[in-house]
Structures are given as C-alpha cells and as structure tokens.
Amino acid sequence: MNLLEKKDAVRTAKVFRAARKQKGFSQLELSKKLSITQGTLSKIELGKLSVSSSIWYEFCNLTDLQPEWAWGLGVVDRPEMKNKITSDQVGSFSLPEKYRLNRGTPARSIRALLGYFAAVYGEKKLNDYMERIGVDPDYFLVLSNQININFSLDTFEVLAADGRLKPENLKMIANAYSNPTFHGALAGRFHTTGPEVHENLITDLIRNAGHYDMNFNYVIESVQNGVVTISIAPSEHLKAFNYKRGELGAALCSYKQEILKSFVTLGSGSSGVSPLAIEERECHYKGAPRCLFHVRILN
C-alpha cells in the first residue's frame, strides 16, 4: 500500500472495529456475513488490508452506516440518534460498571479530552491507560456511545496530578471545538456565516448540547444587547456521583467556558482569538444550584 492507501486502511479499520462491536458481532459472524475469511477481516481491522468498494458498501449496509460519512470521518456517527441517560450494555464493548451506570457523556465530547491526552503522553500511554481502567478505546469511535461522568473526572485527575490542568491546558483541550471535523456529521447544523454569527453559534451549540453533555441542562435564559445569558444546571442522575471533587470542579467550570470561547470561532480559522468575554454570575461548584454565565460578544 502507498501512503494514501495506508491512511485509508487505518481510517476504515477503526470504523470496522467500532461498528462491528456496536452491533455485537464477533469477527467470525461478520466475516461470514461479508463472505470473507476471518483472517481477511482481521487484517482489515488492523489496517493492514485495503477494503474493496463492494465489501465496504455491504459492511455499511449490515451496520446501518452511511458509506460516505463513515469513510470520510473515520468514526461511527449517527447524529439522528436521541441520546438518553442509560446504564445498558452497548454491543460487545468492554466497559466496567464504574463507567457504565448512568452514562451521560457522549463519546463525541470525550474525543477532545482523549486527543489532548494522546498529544501530551502519546498514543501508547493513552492505550495503556485505557487498558488499565478496563475501557475499550474503540468505544469512543462511536460518537453516540456514552460513558458516565466518572471517566472524565478520573482522566482530568490524572492530568491535574501531572500539573496539566491549568487554564492554558483547558484552553488546549477545548480548542478541538473550533475544528469542524471534530463535530462530525453535526457540523452542518452550525451557522458559521451571516449577521450575528456568534449569537447564532452559541444558540446552535446549546440547542445541540445533548450530543455533547447530558450531565447538565443547558438553557439560554436571554439574549439582549449583545449578551447571551446561559444557565447550566446538574441533571438529576448526578446525585449518584461525587462530581465536584474539590478544586477539580472549578477546573471543569472553567473548561465549559473555554468550550464556548473556542466553539464560536468554528470554521473561522482564528481559534486562538475568541470574540467572547464570559462573566460568571453564579457557580454551582461554589454552592449555587446552577452556573450562570453572561456571555458578551465583543465587537
């Protein structure tokens, strides 16, 4: 394989593994359905063999994927699915009970955290970390899959213990939200041009918040004179978790603000400069029932 073919093979390998596991197929079961040997499927899933168009389209048909989206994104993305808090087993993925019960964090948003982890420590240490906590890395290739808030908190604690949860680090993690490819098939829902583009982007993000975080309820309370007031209140299921965890809570609150700042630069090519100034009027992590942000759009 040449370099381009290798990249294609690695990308499709991820989709094959993730979609197969989501459907609960073993390699043997799927190989029979595709009329290929298990050895051939194993090579495809390892990125060592290119996929013919006929096998690709048959695979997408069996796993309910849109061929063009799956090929281009290299992930399993079904934005039409309605996310809900769940504790059910998902396909044949390995997910320990600690992270399985009351899952409210979609994989779509976890990708920003894992991408930063890999950038700092390397892919091998990321995979070692996943193996140590018993989570299949392929689980996060299905963007509608969910994990509970313990996973984010535990991973943030690893970063904090290494001094990598400072404001500049949070900004780097949140920077993923400025990249259209990060949002996958949802990217088309966001209005990145036209008058009042920043207000529209904030509204779009809050409207689609459930695709990124179901642990909190996001509401636009008002839009007036260039100020968008947003409330963020914990969902009922969070009562089952110790999710504030001391100073970690303050970092997570700051992280939500950095996401907003990054997101409004979506598609502009200026991810380093945000047109927002955010004033925190209430903080749930300091005893208030919710966080309340006044988001001012700077001219």
Rounded to an integer, what distance in angstroms lies between the CA atom of residue 228 and that of residue 278?
A: 9
CATH number of 3-73: 3.40.710.10, 1.10.260.40, 1.10.4160.10, 3.90.420.10? Answer: 1.10.260.40
Is a pLDDT exceeding 80 seen at residue 150? yes
At 2, the pLDDT band (50, 70, 90 cuts) reads: confident
Q: Name the phi and psi angles at 179, rounded to 5.
A: -100, 120
Domain regions of the chain by residue span: 3-73, 97-161, 167-297
Is a pLDDT exceeding 60 seen at residue 203? yes
Pair 73, 184: CB distance under 8 Å: yes
How many C-beta atoms lie closer than 10 Å to residue 74's C-beta? 19
Give the domain 167-297 fold.
Answer: Muramoyl-pentapeptide Carboxypeptidase; domain 2 (3.30.1380)
Rounded to an integer, what distance in angstroms lies between the CA atom of residue 116 and that of residue 109?
A: 12
**Which DSSP string corresponds to 267-284?**
TTT-TT---EEEEEEE-G
Q: Name the phi and psi angles at 193, rounded to 5.
A: -135, 170
- HSE at residue 228, side-chain half, CA atoms within 13 A, is 27
Cα–Cα–Cα angle for 152, 158, 159, rounded to 5 degrees: 90
Averaged confidence pLDDT in the chain: 92
Segment (H or E) for 62: helix 53-62
Listed residue (204, 197, 203, 192) closest to 299, CA to CA: 197
pLDDT tens, position by position, 39-97? 999 999 999 999 999 999 999 999 999 898 888 888 999 876 666 788 887 888 989 99
* DSSP summary character for residue 162: T
Query: Going by C-beta distance under 8 Å and a sequence separation of 6 or more, which residues neighbour residue 197?
Result: 191
Q: What is the pTM of this model?
A: 0.91
Listed residue (254, 250, 253, 265) closest to 297, CA to CA: 265
Q: What is the pLDDT of residue 272?
A: 56
How many C-beta atoms lie closer than 10 Å to residue 177's C-beta? 23
Lowest mean pLDDT, pick from 7-16, 68-77, 200-209, 267-276: 267-276
Instruction: Give, in order, the Cα–Cα distances in Å from 56 to each of 21, 32, 68, 78, 235.
Output: 16, 14, 10, 17, 40
Query: Going by C-beta distance under 8 Å and a sequence separation of 6 or more, which residues neighbour residue 211?
Result: 79, 83, 106, 108, 186
Rounded to an integer, what distance in angstroms lies between the CA atom of residue 4 and that of residue 21?
A: 26
At residue 93, the 3 state secondary structure works out as coil
More confident of the two residues 83 and 138: 138
- HSE at residue 205, side-chain half, CA atoms within 13 A, is 26
